[in-house]
Amino acid sequence: MILQSVKMAYTAILSNKLRSFLTMLGIIIGVTSLVVLVSLVGGASDSVTEGISESGKTLITVSILKDKGKPLTWEDVSELEKKESISAAAPAGNTGSTARGRGKSVDIQITGTTPGYFEIQNLKTAYGRTLKRADLDNSTYSVVLNNRAAKELLGTDDAAGEEVVIGGKTYRVAGVLEKSKVSGWNAEQMEAYIPYSTLMRSADDIRYVNNFYLTADSQEEMKNAETEVTDFLKTRFGNDEKAFQVMNESQILELMESTQRTLMLMLGGIAGIALLVGGIGIMNIMLVSVTERTREIGIRKAIGADYAGIMTQFLIEALALSLLGCLIGILLSWGIIQTVNWFLPQYHFRMVKEVILAATAFSAVIGVAFGIYPADKAAKKKPIDALRFS
């Protein structure tokens, strides 16, 4: 019986292709927007969180908002490493400049920092060494390049000992970092790391430390590390808690995740409304179809179809319309996501399985919910009245 109804639905849908397609369009648009939007949001925030969690769950970020006449120096930050719960601490001062090596000039991102930074950010050298305490004490012109910068400037990543000119000063390349495994949004930049003291000397606007990073000894020590750095800063800035901000990795992750959730819910809600509108379209056409096929219903009833028989036939037709629309929508989403991936290869968007399941389930519910009324109307027709209809 069900199989027969599916066959009948198939015939009915194919016998009026344009109308069936237009009916499904609402569902197609709804499903496509749902799957594409949720997959894109999911993919984008995945690549950001991937980048964050790579550097560990023990990271604490500190920003100085007001120095109250007692600014921090890089030596102060390094002193923090002596605390028991803190394994590394490093300032980060950022500036941009032009670098030249072997005749080639590129724009480069410069980070002035201390040796602890490489441990905190989990940066490892492929060739040479990272920065040393002596580099800071003597404000040497030593630089650690990331893999891309070394290749662009010097043509090889085996560039330790070579020279590059950054901002008019000649630096000796102390080391080159390993190629980044993260293929997210920050993988393609060119970066150079120099001693904080050297940066202070060459950049006019950087004199003290405004941002620095810490890693706790372990995840369990996070709370202690946070308390210790907060206490230290409070003492320094006369108990003014608004003078600085201490943020940890999990807070940033939580913030990201809640933003992502809200965004997905919002987009999902909009797509859900589109699906609902699609359902109304199905109901509309099913009602027209029931009236048009009054005679058919009469014949079927005269020949022996009962309420359930006609009900099943029309309900399955509505369900088939919405599920077919859903399938087309999913295929279309797949196409769109592949196209986006082709244009933006650094992201790797993929369809989220849960969304596909949710979209299918939602379409099925809509097909049944909006199919019930027309199907009931059809099944309740009296055979004599229906046969007289022409």
Partner 1 sequence: MIQLKGVSRIYQMGEEQFYALRKVDLHIRKGEFVSIVGPSGSGKSTMMNIIGCLDCADEGQYLLDGQPIENYSEKELARVRNRKIGFIFQNFNLLPKLSAAENVALPLIYQRLGTAKQKERVAWALEQVSLKDRMGHRPSQLSGGQQQRVAIARALASRPALFLADEPTGALDSRTGREIMDIFHMLHEKGNTIVIITHDEGVADQAERKIRIRDGRLSEVKI
Question: What is the smallest separation between the CB atom of 297 and partner 1, expressed in angstroms?
Answer: 11
Residues 6 or more apart from 236 whose CB is under 8 A from it?
A: 70, 72
Q: Which of 363, 336, 264, 369 is nearest to 28 (CA)?
A: 363
Question: What is the smallest separation between the CB atom of 10 and partner 1, expressed in angstroms?
Answer: 11
Question: What is the smallest separation between the CB atom of 310 and partner 1, expressed in angstroms?
Answer: 10
Any idea which residue has 């927007």 for tokens? 33
Residue pair 207/200 in contact by the 8 Å Cβ criterion: yes
Report which residue type is found at 389: F
Question: What is the smallest separation between the CB atom of 309 and partner 1, expressed in angstroms?
Answer: 6
Q: Which is nearer to partner 1, 13 or 352 (CB)?
A: 13
Q: Which is nearer to partner 1, 15 or 239 (CB)?
A: 15
Per DSSP, helices labelled H in the chain are: 2-14, 17-54, 74-79, 116-120, 133-137, 147-154, 196-202, 222-236, 249-292, 294-303, 307-343, 353-379, 383-388
Question: What is the smallest separation between the CB atom of 304 and partner 1, expressed in angstroms?
Answer: 2
Question: What is the smallest separation between the CB atom of 324 and partner 1, expressed in angstroms?
Answer: 19
Q: Which is nearer to partner 1, 36 or 375 (CB)?
A: 375
Question: What is the smallest separation between the CB atom of 36 and partner 1, expressed in angstroms?
Answer: 36
d(CA 126, CA 157): 8
Q: Which is nearer to partner 1, 18 or 303 (CB)?
A: 303
Residue pair 103/111 in contact by the 8 Å Cβ criterion: no
Contact residues toward partner 1 (CB under 8 A) are 1, 4, 11-12, 15, 295-296, 298-309, 383-384, 387
And the tokens for 63?
Answer: 């920003």
Q: Which is nearer to partner 1, 223 or 380 (CB)?
A: 380
In whole angstroms, how far apart are CA 61 and each of 50, 195, 259?
A: 18, 19, 20
Q: Which is nearer to partner 1, 255 or 302 (CB)?
A: 302
For the beta carbon of residue 323, count every other beta carbon within 10 angstroms: 18
Report which residue type is found at 84: E
Q: Which is nearer to partner 1, 56 or 309 (CB)?
A: 309
d(CA 78, CA 113): 10
